[in-house]
Structure 1
Amino acid sequence: MRDMGGDQVTEAVAESVALLRTATGRDWDGVKAGRLEWSCRRTAEHLASALLAYAGQLAGRPSDAYVPFEIMMEDGTDNAGVVDVIETTGALLTAAIRTTPREVRAFHSYPFHSANREGFAAMGVAEVLLHTHDIAEGLGLAHEPPAALCEDVLTRIFPHVRPGPAPWPTLLWATGRGELPGRAPLTEWRWNNNLAIEAERLTLQGVTPAAAADLRAGGTGGFEWIEGGPFEGTREAAGMVVKAYEDGVHRPEWGMFVLVRTEDGRAVGAMGFHGVPDEEGRAEVGYDLAENARGNGYATEALHALSAWALARDDVEVLFAAIDRTNAPSQRVIARAGFTRVSEDVEQYAYELRGMNKSLRLYARKD
């Protein structure tokens, strides 16, 4: 799997500044940047600010807010100076990514309030590609970034977007900047960093389409696995994620999570959903562990955490699982996690876990 990190940020920034430097002698203040309301100058300054902000989040690692600082250009800074600042802030983000451990997460507001270094790299590259496009469109410059960079972004932070005929037009469409045959234009959009759910000894880390494709193909998905992992069920589940992504129906919070031990950052198994909840609020769960991780209570702990997260949502009423009659260890896990056996056939037992009646919930008022 191609990593998403500092090399991609460096590549994107180098491509951007090379193009922008060809037009620094032109009027950037009086020209709108593509479809934005901002001028080309304001957009370039925003780009530098975004890169610095992402570097600051990774360096400071806040968990509940943005680090409270911002960039300011000195009086008299010309367009060439702004491009120099973009190059510099890009280098700072690259350095922050390269010195941040894989398991570290820092605050980002959308959609799950955190991102890891791969997420910040993808967001940084997206800022560079898209705002360079905006400025280029305003100034009448030709701009088409490398397809691999666009695909890197799409498969990390646009998991909900069905792949199109080519990565760059798809990324432009996904951000309201272009059209694709057979798809309605977008007027609102968001990217999606992966979800991470904390348990006592584990973190359930959402698997991106890029990681799922690598797992399906026999790779690690970018995780450091214990000996004997990942188990074959994990690779099969990764294939389900890839298919859902290719069909345009993947929703990251209802996909697959890799179970990562907090103590050493090693992946021990996988767990997740077979798809989004149905109209009755039912969602199916599945899980497996690498053989060397079994017998330690990891699956039970992770299933408790995943179940609590899901049943706290308004769109989930019940979780269920189907387990082979011959799979006694999984039956013990599902029972310890609070599920109840509700039916059976010649091959499997069916289990359910119901949440609290939504009408009985109490909500605290915050004035």
Structure 2
Amino acid sequence: MRAVGAEQVEEAVADCVAALGTVTDRDWTGVRAGRLEWNCRETAAHIASDLIAYAGQIAGRAQDAYVPFEITLDGSEDGLDPADNAGTLQVITTTGALLAAAVRTTPRAVRAFHPFPFRHASREGFAAMGIAEVLLHTHDIAEGMGIGYEPPAELASFVLTRIFPQAKPGPTPWRTLLWATGRGDLPGREPVTEWKWSNNPVLRSERLALEGVTPAVAAELSLAGDGGFHWVDSGPFEGTREGAGMLLKQYEEGVFHPEWAMYVLVRREDDRAVGAMGFHGVPDEDGRVEIGYDLSVDARGNGYATEALRTLSAWALTRDGVRTVAAVVDQENVPSQKVVTRAGFTEVSRQEGQISYELRG
């Protein structure tokens, strides 16, 4: 399956080099980069440093911290002349190529350390973070140098739908990304003064990985795509696609919460997706959250739904203020009733052809 993100990294870097290549004959060290404390030269070096750092994380499969290395554009320790502006752009091109190569060659299921917010990210997450660094800091340098810069809308959208899931879409992806990172204003929205991007959550059980769905994945699943997953032969069942559509609507309305959204259930032994499970929304004022699930036809009968339900509901009950996980099952759906009871839920009521179950913390 194609490694989504590699081509976008290359495009972002090429766009950066094309824009900044027009001002390599000017002084970058004496000019502040936009609103940053760094000068333009320091900001360009930071782009290169982040690109190689992200490549190192996924190439080295780092799990607990950043790989302990850094690069320098100085060259003085080796008796070499410091890189000039054109040389700095060459380093950005090179480190961007290394990140793209790491994204292409890293298996889909691999996650490596990154602190925000769940202490790990996938190859697609690292690609999105690398692209964000390139786009935003190219903007900063261009602003400092007094030149125009606007990247392709698709690149800004790639970043927003993967690592800014709670940022409601605005008039254009680029203006939204600038606003979300404190670099611009949007009508009717408060200015952003502090921000961090958000990689998707992943929970693990004995046989499954429960991978949080991003707006990008939700959009693809809702339109009959695979969402970037290797599915079992029967593919996503209709409930998964409907749930993805609901999540996409939440994103468009600015009420998408990654932890309280949908998770794709992935079989760890072969990286095949077998279904989806998730919450209907954030916990209510009484600490109650409702959960639902959907399993692909040829994955049923193996206990996957029960295993995932135990994992996700147990996780929910560890969150602050959550006291009850609820599930509602049709009276005619006997297999689903067995799933919730095996997961420890207790029946609390019956009405209008449905049975309500609860699991309390």
Report the TM-score when normalising by structure 1. Answer: 0.95
Q: Which residue in 1 is equivalent to 2:79?
A: none
In the alignment, does 2:275 pair up with 1:269?
yes
CA distance in 1, matches of 2:295, 2:352: 25
Unaligned runs of 5+ in 2: 77-81
Report the AA paired with residue 286 of structure 2.
E
In the alignment, does 2:246 pair up with 1:210?
no
Q: Which residue in 2 is equivalent to 1:289?
A: 295
In the alignment, does 2:70 pair up with 1:70?
yes
CA distance in 2, matches of 1:292, 1:342: 31
Report the AA paired with residue 110 of structure 1.
F
Q: Which residue in 1 is equivalent to 2:327?
A: 321
In the alignment, does 2:190 pair up with 1:184?
yes
In the alignment, does 2:324 pair up with 1:349?
no
Report the AA paired with residue 183 of structure 2.
R
Post-superposition offset of 1:27: 1.4
Post-superposition offset of 1:105: 0.5
SS at match of 1:267: strand
Q: 1:1-21 deviations in whole A, cap 9, x for unaligned?
A: x97311000000000011112
In the alignment, does 2:155 pair up with 1:146?
no
Alpha-carbon contact 2:329-2:356 (below 8 Å) kept: yes
In the alignment, does 2:286 pair up with 1:249?
no
Alpha-carbon contact 2:3-2:104 (below 8 Å) kept: no
SS at match of 2:20: helix
Q: Which structure 2 residues correspond to residues 95-106 of structure 1 after superposition, within 5 A?
A: 95-106=101-112
CA distance in 2, matches of 1:9, 1:217: 25
Runs of 4+ in 1 over 4 A off after TM superposition: none
Q: Which residue in 2 is equivalent to 1:360?
A: none
Q: 1:50-107 deviations in whole A, cap 9, x for unaligned?
A: 0000000010111111111111121322222211111110000011000001111101
Which of 235, 242, 249 is the aligned partner of 1:229?
235
Alpha-carbon contact 1:4-1:122 (below 8 Å) kept: no
SS at match of 2:285: coil
Which of 284, 296, 305 is the aligned partner of 1:299?
305
Post-superposition offset of 1:315: 3.0
Post-superposition offset of 1:111: 0.5
SS at match of 1:263: coil
* CA RMSD across the alignment: 1.2
Post-superposition offset of 1:261: 0.5
Post-superposition offset of 1:255: 0.5
Report the AA paired with residue 223 of structure 2.
A
Q: Which residue in 2 is equivalent to 1:16?
A: 16
Post-superposition offset of 1:267: 0.4
In the alignment, does 2:199 pair up with 1:199?
no
Q: Which residue in 2 is equivalent to 1:361?
A: none
Which of 111, 117, 126 is the aligned partner of 1:120?
126
Unaligned runs of 5+ in 1: 356-367
Which of 259, 262, 281 is the aligned partner of 2:265?
259
- 1:81 to 1:133, Cα distance in 2 relative to 1, 3 A: same
Q: How many matched pairs?
A: 355
In the alignment, does 2:345 pair up with 1:333?
no
Q: Which residue in 2 is equivalent to 1:362?
A: none
Alpha-carbon contact 1:4-1:152 (below 8 Å) kept: no
In the alignment, does 2:90 pair up with 1:88?
no
SS at match of 2:224: coil
Q: Which structure 2 residues correspond to residues 17-36 of structure 1 after superposition, within 5 A?
A: 17-36=17-36
Post-superposition offset of 1:23: 1.0
Q: Which residue in 1 is equivalent to 2:61?
A: 61
Post-superposition offset of 1:223: 0.9
CA distance in 1, matches of 2:340, 2:159: 36
Report the AA paired with residue 84 of structure 1.
Q
SS at match of 1:136: helix
Post-superposition offset of 1:305: 1.0
Q: Percent identity at matched positions?
A: 67
Q: Which residue in 2 is equivalent to 1:364?
A: none
Q: Which residue in 1 is equivalent to 2:4?
A: 4
SS at match of 1:31: coil
Report the AA paired with residue 98 of structure 1.
R
CA distance in 2, matches of 1:252, 1:16: 30
